């Protein structure tokens, strides 16, 4: 997880999946600044291969299977 566009990262804890066919769940705690911060998430596999940063770096003419970094803005009151 990153709050600065990927300059620094906070590692999330990975939960054991109930089954090998279910989503891999994870969690972390972040100190969010006031305002609308953007939270960025990325992952990597056992070989060290990481998700691409932007969808444009993928050959994907129809937009399917986009596995680039997830980004979401939240409003912290």
pLDDT in tens, 38-54: 999 998 888 988 888 88
pLDDT for res 63: 65
Determine how many CB atoms are found less than 10 A away from the CB of residue 67.
12
On the question of pLDDT at 4 being above 80, the answer is yes
- pLDDT value, residue 68: 87
- The domain that holds 48 is classified in CATH as 2.60.40.650
The total number of structural domains that make up the chain: 1
> Considering only CA atoms, which of 5, 67, 75, 11 is closest in space to residue 39?
5
Residue 7 is part of which domain span? Answer: 1-77
Reduced to 3 states (helix: H, G, I; strand: E, B; else coil), residue 2 is strand
69 pLDDT exceeds 70?
Answer: yes
CA Rg value for the chain: 14
State the pTM of this model. Answer: 0.76
* 15-45 per-position pLDDT tens digit: 988 888 988 889 999 888 888 899 999 988 8
- Output DSSP code: residue 19: S
For residue 44 the two structure tokens come to 């990597």
């Amino acid at each position: 997880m990153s709050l600065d566009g990927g300059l620094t990262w906070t590692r999330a804890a990975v939960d054991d999946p109930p089954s090998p066919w279910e989503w891999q769940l994870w969690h972390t705690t972040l100190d969010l600044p006031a305002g609308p911060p953007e939270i960025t998430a990325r992952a990597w596999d056992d070989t060290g291969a990481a998700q691409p940063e932007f969808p444009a770096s993928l050959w994907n003419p129809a937009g399917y299977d986009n596995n680039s970094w997830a980004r979401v803005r939240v409003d912290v009151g």
